[in-house]
Amino acid sequence: MADKNVALRKRQQIENANKTMFLWVAGAAAIVGIALVLSFSLFERISFNQRVINEKNETVATLRANNEIVDELKENIRVLNTNENLVETPRVEDSEPIAAILDGLPSTANSSALGASLQQKLLVGGGVSIDTLTVNPISGVEDDDDGSEEGDGEITFEFVVSAPAGQANSLKQVLRNLETSIRVIDLTTLTIEQQNNKISLSGAGRAFYQPEKKVELSEKAVRP
């Protein structure tokens, strides 16, 4: 009887020890799991903060680089304003000589303004008549064909002008007008023909524009 009681107590002690061990193992597993979750969360927070710091450092570096070239840009503008060719170029009254560059290279693809200039100022002369004039709008910029925002910086055009056979110098004046125009114009083809009592000048060319660059501060969200 005594041996049975001893065996029973041993069995109970073993069961209690097993329960205690299970509780300790379960508790340790829970602690390890919580530690892993906290470690992962901490790693993500550290990684996010580092990305924020990197973006700030990049912004600071850009601003510092921009500030370093301000004086150089001012000096370049000052030198350009003393350029003899720019000083002698016609421009709006009271404007600086450098304004001639902006007038010669517009910031927008305004083909209608180019057409008006060709028709009223450049393709004219004593006895010259404009037979045809076509200025092609910029695809995707002025006619919204392809959704482009800036185009290639060129406006193409074609024209035919004519003058009486005895007034060929009038056509020379047209070419001189195109050559001395403040607007940058490049003639790509040129043909002169004489038919009966008329001389015709046919040509194709291109004018240029430079889309403006916007400098502005912006916000950038750094996603966690």
**pLDDT tens digits for range 187-211:** 999 999 988 889 999 999 999 888 8
Note whether 211 and 163 are within 8 A (CB). Answer: no
Does residue 168 carry a pLDDT above 90?
Answer: no
The range of the structural domain enclosing residue 175 comes to 105-208
Per-position DSSP letters for the chain, written without gaps between them: -HHHHHHHHHHHHHHHHHHHHHHHHHHHHHHHHHHHHHHHHHHHHHHHHHHHHHHHHHHHHHHHHHHHTHHHHHHHHHHHTT-HHHHHS---TT--TTHHHHHHS-SS--HHHHHHHIIIIIS--TT-EEEEEEEPPPTTTTS-SS--SSTTSEEEEEEEEEEETT-HHHHHHHHHHHHH-SS-EEEEEEEEEEETTEEEEEEEEEEE--PPPP----------
Does residue 41 carry a pLDDT above 50?
Answer: yes
Q: How many structural domains is the chain composed of?
A: 1
| 71 domain-assigned | no
| 204 domain-assigned | yes
CA dist 99 and 170 (Å) reads 31
| 173 domain-assigned | yes
| 97 domain-assigned | no
Give the pLDDT band (50/70/90) at residue 2.
low
Does residue 28 carry a pLDDT above 80?
Answer: no
| 52 domain-assigned | no
CA dist 184 and 137 (Å) reads 17
| 110 domain-assigned | yes
pLDDT of residue 146: 44
pLDDT in tens, 118-161: 999 999 888 899 999 999 988 766 765 444 445 578 899 999 99
Does residue 13 carry a pLDDT above 90?
Answer: no
Give the pLDDT band (50/70/90) at residue 163.
very high
Give the pLDDT band (50/70/90) at residue 36.
confident
CATH number for the domain harbouring residue 160: 3.30.70
| 221 domain-assigned | no
Report the 10 Å Cβ neighbour count for 69.
Answer: 10
pLDDT in tens, 57-105: 888 888 888 888 888 988 988 888 888 877 777 776 777 888 777 777 8
| 214 domain-assigned | no
Give the pLDDT band (50/70/90) at residue 183.
confident
- The larger pLDDT score, comparing residue 41 to residue 124, is at 124
Spatial CB neighbours of 197, under 8 Å, sequence gap ≥ 6: 164, 165
Give the pLDDT band (50/70/90) at residue 116.
very high
